[in-house]
Structure 1
Amino acid sequence: MSSLTFESDDLEVTEDFLCRAYAKMRIGSGTPESSRARIHRDSTPAVSVDELDLNFDMSYSVTPLGRICLCVVHEGTIQDHGFHGVRDDFGPGDVVMFAPPDLPYAGRICSARYNITMLDPGLLDQVAATAGRPLHEPVRLTRHRPSSPAAADHLKKTIVHLRDHVLADPAVAAQPLIVSAGSQLLAASVLAAFPNTASTDPTGQDRADAHSTTLRRAIAYIDDHADRPVTVADIAAAAHVTIRTLQYAFRRHLDTTPLAYLRRARLAHAHRDLLNAPPRGEATVAGIAARWGFAHPGRFAAQYRSVYGTSPSRTLNS
């Protein structure tokens, strides 16, 4: 995990930074007397979350990023944004995909404060419930705006959670299980928010392969690897089935999802650590929760209580 903050009122310096932080671009200011820029970034190899504050009007022309780039506007506007036949304006509250990873885009920032979240496109393939898709045909988002206001709101909440409860705290961001879970949650929220090419309906072959042996293989793999960053693709490969078959098997036999089962397994490990911690020792609820991939102590406590009928602090201190 890395973190950086950039501030400058020199347009050439800002352009150089943006080229290094995003992709090669040209920028220009319509208000040369004021060109103050402030950018803060927290990132992992797969995901970055940036907060940008530009108190001037800036035009931009950007080469393809190679990553999925999401924008949430806090204040101000982004105007005349365009790529490959799309032209749109964005204002406060809007969440959009700037452009597909392989396309350039251009537009104009008008004294805006906004969030840029970028993720590796491969994360979508890891969580999409598709049959074995060739690597040269990744999942694609087919529209730049979310399919509904509710989907947009959920995606914004996911970005805020990732920013504030995962990446903002170096101790939490150092936990690989939390980073892996947060990245997958973001990818799943993107797929839920935007129309895309992933197919979720099980085929006849999926139904035939989603038998109890498949489920047993998957559960065994989850139980043996709960202490490591695990993706749905990893579980499917261990069970020798496609991701879609795996999803269907868990839904058919347990009425849950593979990732929900993984979270339950990690909760059980956290429960055992709380029980086995020495009385009045150095172990803490937050530390044990983070070790097993739970970034938010309050949510961990709520999940723990719903399963075990008591608080994690009482278990630790009993």
Structure 2
Amino acid sequence: MAVARKRPRWAQWNGEWRVVEQLSFASESLSETEAFLSDAYTPMQIGGRPERTGTRVERRTAGGLIVDELAFDYTMSYDAGCLERICLLTIHQGTVADTTGGKEEIHGPGETFLIAQPDRPYTGEVRGSAYTITMFDPGLLTAVAGGPDGGPVRLTGQRALDAAGNRILERTVAYLRDDVMAGPAADQPLVVAGAVRLLASAALSAFPHTDLDTAPARIDRGDATSDTLRRAMDFIEANADRDIGLAEIAASVPLTPRAVQYAFRRHAGTTPLAHLRRVRLARAHDELKTADPSTSSVIAIAAKWGFGNPGRFAVEHRAAYGISPATLLRARR
């Protein structure tokens, strides 16, 4: 018999209260598992003979990011529809055999791969496997890539280009699963938004993808003036508390993301996103100086401004201001 438990929490996203959902599912029934997987992912038909514990799924979702931990103690075949999302599988044990193209492709422990193009059905087998699934909106690839208009950026391969890219994906997935989505950081919109962008960036660096950046470089250089930099910086200062990225910064100018990137390199020696991070670090620093240590914490303030890793935040804060955030907060006592 299926066991499904929902543990919703609430967090404020862009002024609206939304559910940060946690869901658990366990069953030894093939029909119950098929119904759950069809509802959680896409309509599908599955086959197999569940054994001791059958299927186990732990789901966490927030801010457009879905992180699932799944385990199957049997070989389960699947014939599934379109996911409409980027879906990455990181295998911990067992194997997954993809048969979508008519040829069997085996993926094993330690590998992170794209299970299917978002707009295409897929087939295969999960063979006594445990793995993590991470899913996000395909449109984020285009936003993160920062290419000019002309069409969406798409991943063109299922496997990482090399072992280094695969390691980056594996570490990124582990960070999202263990640090961001498993604790209080999942309640912080900027942390989750940054984590989703980080995952999209890792996917773009690891997988082959379409190259749509065809704008002439001379036009971008001509647009990359000090005024471009000033307008972009003004936008960042006014919106640092919102979920913004390169696409939103460029649209505020408005110029191509490439032109804005060039303006930052030429006139400020940095990148738009690095500048955004420095502004958020400064906002967190100011809040630490005025916060009440009896009711505030370094972790909460860091997460509010998009820093999901307290240790890394402490290192960056000390490098910028010569004092640890904990010491600065205690000074208010």
Does residue 261 of structure 2 align to residue 261 of structure 1? Answer: no
Retained in 1: the 8 A contact 2:100–2:124?
no
Does residue 147 of structure 2 align to residue 130 of structure 1? Answer: yes
- Which residue of structure 1 lines up, in the alignment, with residue 85 of structure 2? 67
What is the deviation of 1:163? 1.2
Does residue 289 of structure 2 align to residue 272 of structure 1? Answer: no
- Which residue of structure 1 lines up, in the alignment, with residue 306 of structure 2? 293
Q: Which amino acid aligns with 1:109?
A: V
Retained in 2: the 8 A contact 1:11–1:35?
no
Alignment identity in percent? 45
Q: Secondary structure at the match of 2:252?
A: helix
Quick one: distance in 1 between partners of 2:330 and 2:316?
Answer: 18
- Which residue of structure 2 lines up, in the alignment, with residue 209 of structure 1? 223
Retained in 1: the 8 A contact 2:148–2:213?
no
Query: Which ranges of structure 1 fall in alignment gaps of 5 or more residues?
Result: none
- Which residue of structure 1 lines up, in the alignment, with residue 242 of structure 2? 228
- Which residue of structure 2 lines up, in the alignment, with residue 94 of structure 1? 111
Q: Secondary structure at the match of 1:70?
A: strand
- Which residue of structure 1 lines up, in the alignment, with residue 7 of structure 2? none
Pairing of 1:295-310 with structure 2 (within 5 A): 295-310=308-323
> Please, what TM-score do these two structures have when normalized by structure 1?
0.93
Retained in 1: the 8 A contact 2:68–2:133?
yes
- Which residue of structure 2 lines up, in the alignment, with residue 143 of structure 1? 157
Retained in 2: the 8 A contact 1:132–1:243?
no
> Please, what TM-score do these two structures have when normalized by structure 2?
0.89
- Which residue of structure 2 lines up, in the alignment, with residue 317 of structure 1? 330
Taking only aligned residues, the RMSD between alpha carbons, in angstroms, comes to 1.6
- Which residue of structure 2 lines up, in the alignment, with residue 76 of structure 1? 94
Pairing of 1:102-121 with structure 2 (within 5 A): 102-121=119-138
Quick one: distance in 1 between partners of 2:254 and 2:101?
Answer: 39
Query: Which ranges of structure 2 fall in alignment gaps of 5 or more residues?
Result: 1-19
* Gap change, CA 1:74 and 1:64, over 3 Å in 2: same
Quick one: distance in 2 between partners of 1:116 and 1:297?
Answer: 25
Total equivalences in the alignment: 311
* Gap change, CA 1:85 and 1:221, over 3 Å in 2: farther
What is the deviation of 1:190? 0.9
- Which residue of structure 1 lines up, in the alignment, with residue 198 of structure 2? 185
Match of 1:251 among 265, 271, 276: 265
What is the deviation of 1:56? 0.5
What is the deviation of 1:309? 1.6
Q: Which amino acid aligns with 2:195?
A: G
What is the deviation of 1:233? 1.1
Quick one: distance in 2 between partners of 1:85 and 1:309?
Answer: 59
What is the deviation of 1:198? 3.5
